[in-house]
Amino acid sequence: MKVTVFGIGYVGLVQAAVLAEVGHDVVCVDVDQNKVDNLEKGIIPIYEPGLTPLVTSNFEQGRVKFTTDAEKGVTHGEVVFIAVGTPPDEDGSADLKYVQAVAKTIATHMQKHKIIINKSTVPVGTADKVIATVSETLKELNKDLTFDVVSNPEFLKEGAAVNDCMRPDRIILGTESEFAEKKLRELYSPFNRNHDKIIVMDVRSAELTKYAANCMLATKISFMNEMSNLAELMGADIENVRKGIGSDPRIGYQFIYPGCGYGGSCFPKDVQALVRSANGVGYKAKILESVEAVNYRQKEKLFDYLMDFYKGDLKGNTIALWGLSFKPNTDDMREASSRVLMEKLWEQGAKVQAFDPEAMEETQRIYGNRSDLSLMGTKEATLNNADCLVICTEWQAFRAPDFELIKSSIKDPVVFDGRNLFEPSLMSEYGLHYYAIGRALSV
């Protein structure tokens, strides 16, 4: 099937590569000329396991092409995906300007029927706005053409995006058009062989499903973080509590890890956007407001531990920091807890020596060259002349470090762990003070 994808970001690029891999003929359109030029040279703009070989092999075989030529893109696809960003507006609601710009572009260049698929995460009612934009533009241009608008939200997880798109848990189609449903069933049939993963529903329910999923996951995290703060104050160990509640199948073990807060491009913005959407229909989303507030506070947790240990004086200290990305297996730093920590440390006059397996370039891009940030080549190198060690991201490579080396390298034998990677008793054996989330301080 001839497919066009507008927006070559995490969602658009992975979706395009996966659709090409199963044999579809895909054209990707982006406004970023540099990104398109790089992709044509085989330079992939993001780190995502398995993505580079998938993109390069499909590009070499001509099944996926990259362009900034919107007309070429619109002409090519019988189905046209909108996979552009929907960043938070000033008040936290989703900004639809990129989605609407693509809708207008599609209407401007289309010469026959198109199925327009909205993959971006958008508030309920956006499909109606896209329909209005396309209809108005067609009318202005005196074009008498029909089209369908389908909501098909994306559920991929950064760090596992290729696998998630290759083996989706579910494919949500929000449409009442039999024609569009039939075409999309055909498009997705290679991913729907094991059992029927396609769930068809009305457009508004599909749009809300995406927010409900992300808000539920964010709620689980903030709930556990709330419990971890109580555990700390009450002398309990959140890791025991986690195992204790996870054993109930109604709760389950997944996604109940306490930590130094959630980040990324989705949870923070989607929780905020749904709070604003709720306000818009006259409803106060109290749970979601609390989820956001708890997370905001949790991102300051590591800083609070450091202030506690150093009795409020971090001036002149050098902090070794492991993990910059908002979660492992990605180079994405959007809303990462590490950023909150580093910025607070710098305010206090501390220096940071950081390492991340993938997010060093991104950190450099965001913060540039500053005297209070040194990006080190290895996690061990961060320890040289550092006062203490802080861990922000649970990369596999951090799980079994050389504790003797840590102890002998840092000036104060203390580790602040935002992801609870180690057993407190083990840290005591190595003579390391250990601050972990929701666990009694071990000395």
319 bridge partner residues:
352, 388
* Residue 366 or 440 having the CB closest to ligand NAD: 366
Q: How far is the CB of 44 from ligand NAD (least distance, A)?
A: 12
* Residue 153 or 323 having the CB closest to ligand NAD: 153
Residue from 23, 36, 19 nearest 70 by CA: 36
Q: How many CB atoms lie within 10 A of CB 33?
A: 10
Residue from 393, 342, 389, 394 nearest 370 by CA: 342
Residue from 323, 343, 442 nearest 390 by CA: 323
Q: Is 266 a catalytic residue?
A: yes
| Residue 165 half-sphere exposure toward CB, CA atoms < 13 A | 26
Give me 414's structure tokens: 């203390």
* Residue 331 or 394 having the CB closest to ligand NAD: 331
Q: How far is the CB of 155 from ligand NAD (least distance, A)?
A: 6
- φ, ψ dihedrals at 387, nearest 5°: -85, -35
The separation between the first and the last C-alpha atoms of the chain, rounded to the nearest angstrom, is: 62
* Residue 126 or 295 having the CB closest to ligand NAD: 126
Pairing of strands 318-322, 171-174: unpaired
DSSP-derived secondary structure letter, 135: H
Q: How far is the CB of 359 from ligand NAD (least distance, A)?
A: 15
Secondary structure of 318-336 in the HEC alphabet?
A: EEEEECCCCCCCCCCCCCC
* Residue 31 or 366 having the CB closest to ligand NAD: 31
Catalytic: which of 28, 215, 260, 266? 266
Interface residues with ligand NAD (CB under 6 A) are: 6-12, 29-32, 35, 83-86, 98, 101-102, 120-121, 154, 156, 158, 265-266
User: Distance between CA 14 and CA 101 in Å, rounded?
Assistant: 22
Q: How far is the CB of 12 from ligand NAD (least distance, A)?
A: 6
Q: How far is the CB of 379 from ligand NAD (least distance, A)?
A: 26
Q: Which residues are annotated as a binding site?
A: 30, 35, 86, 121, 155-158, 210, 255-259, 263, 269, 327, 334
With a CB cutoff of 8 Å and minimum separation 6, the contacts of 239 are 420, 438, 439
Active site residues: 266
